[in-house]
Amino acid sequence: MGRVTGALVGALLALTLAGCGAPPSGGARPEPEPAAADVRARLAAALSEESEHYAAMVEDPATTVTLVEATWLTRWQVFDVLWRGPYHPQRFYAALSDDDTVLVLSGHPEAFAQMTANAQVQVDDASVAVDIAVFYLDTTRSFQAYSYRIDSVSDISWLPHPDAGEQQRRTEVETQYGPLVAPPAAEPSEDGWTVTVWMVDDRTLVRHQLEIAPDGAVGITSDIVETDIPVPYSI
């Protein structure tokens, strides 16, 4: 039977509808596929050993369980679990192995490391390094705040009706970071690849630099480059 690795919160963090949504352009991936009924049942059974709450979410007809494509990953499948019930939506990412071991990835980067090590991931070019970096950031988010990747400053969800001060602040950010913010890109490093990814996390602009090793191990340095940017507050 399956097991959950890493400390689990007593209840899944509540999210706003915006926080549950896919990132803007940074979330671009091949169209995901719903999980087959038997896979969904396996995921629920594996989760039930540690958390009835997680298992009940997977079993609820109001929940979508979506397979997330990762061509570089073997022996594991990763699922995006999104419940849209009558209250706050709830979301998490979970990985299920061929032998029904389950790992909750959201908020647990150590679980991601366990998954890639068990899968014996091999990173042999820059495109795979970029995909792993993006996958890591997407699936290990804690969902405590609205967080999404961006490919340019035009992807930022700015305040729709800014006052004069907020408009000036937006212009300052666009002017300074317009030439810098770009889609995720990898450069060779001494021990693999360095991938730069930009994100908005609540009301901050963050530059992540991820070190992707040939075996798929991930190291990360995150710099908050701007605070209080004029975007809506997370609820």
Task: Give the residue from 5, 21, 119 showing the smallest Cα distance to 71.
Answer: 119
Domain boundaries, the chain: 4-122
pTM, entire model: 0.84
Q: How confident is the model at residue 5 (pLDDT cuts 50, 70, 90)?
A: very low
Collect all residues with Cβ–Cβ distance below 8 Å to 52 and sequence separation of at least 6.
none
pLDDT one-digit tens code per residue, 167-219: 999 999 999 999 999 999 999 999 999 999 999 999 999 999 999 999 999 99
Q: Which pLDDT value is given to residue 17? A: 35
At 72-112, the pLDDT tens digits run 999 999 999 999 877 778 899 999 999 999 999 999 999 99
The whole-number pLDDT of residue 34 equals 75
CA distance linking residue 73 with residue 211, whole number of Å? 18
| The pLDDT of residue 232 is above 50 | yes
